[in-house]
Amino acid sequence: MKWAIDPNHSVAQFTIRHMMAKVRGTISIKDGWLEGEDHATAKVDVTLDPATINTGVAIRDNHLRSADGFFDVANYPTITFTSKKIVGTDPAGFKVVGDLTMHGVTKEVTLDAAFGGEGKDPWGNRRVSFSAETRVNRKDFGLTWNQALETGGWLVGDEVRVDLEVEAIPAQKPAEATEKLEAAARAESAA
């Protein structure tokens, strides 16, 4: 079975150290697919849109999108994850191993994942949900901008925690998924 990720009800959140505090933000999930009969055999493909980065501070967000900041979205307009294997069969905790491509660099990462459940929304659409998290070193992906502090150390930490919350609906083709997701969004906004 094939499931289309619902970008209106899915989010990629990140946390990174800034001096002594943590900065949190989001990047929109552009699209994605889950395919398989159960979580233990599923294949996952997800595309994020780094142009949508939002930390709540417009000046910082614009810098993160720029070529001299981190993401250089003009040259690298997507971040993708493609699974290679699933490790574990417990729906409450399994690992998804795959390739993360960001800023033109591909590295294998492991997501700690959990199945959130399956049910019908108020408009009769069948949905599944998953949560996942991982930690990556931004420098492994060529995101090296930083600034030394007068007191020692660096302005931005290297480790980034990524948390994903995903809902998906059954769909065999992108057009079918788009139609279903747009209809669900219309129904939800009319409620």
Taking 80 as the threshold, does the pLDDT of residue 69 lie above it?
A: no
Helices (H) and strands (E) in the chain, counts: 2, 9
What mean pLDDT is predicted for residues 112-125?
A: 91
96: containing domain: 2-190
Taking 60 as the threshold, does the pLDDT of residue 174 lie above it?
A: no
Name which of 53, 3, 48 is nearest 23 in CA terms: 53
CATH number of the domain enclosing 18 = 2.40.128.110
Q: And the tokens for 43?
A: 């294949």
High-pLDDT (> 70) share of the chain, %: 95
* 145-156 residue pLDDT tens: 778 878 877 778
Average pLDDT, rounded, for the chain: 89
Q: How far is CA 127 from CA 119, 145, 180, 184, in A?
A: 5, 40, 12, 11
Residue 116 half-sphere exposure, CB side, CA atoms within 13 Å? Answer: 13
* Separation CA 144–CA 104 (nearest Å): 13
* Separation CA 163–CA 53 (nearest Å): 14
Q: How far is CA 44 from CA 4, 16, 156, 165, 169, in A?
A: 10, 25, 31, 14, 14
Q: Report the domain count for the chain.
A: 1
- If one compares 17 and 111, the residue with the highest pLDDT of the two is 111
What mean pLDDT is predicted for residues 71-80?
A: 95
pLDDT at 173: 64
pTM: 0.86
* Separation CA 170–CA 5 (nearest Å): 9
Paired strand residues for 112 = 95, 133
Q: Do 39 and 3 form a contact (C-beta atoms < 8 A)?
A: no
* Separation CA 128–CA 64 (nearest Å): 32
* 29-64 residue pLDDT tens: 998 999 987 777 889 999 999 999 999 999 999 999
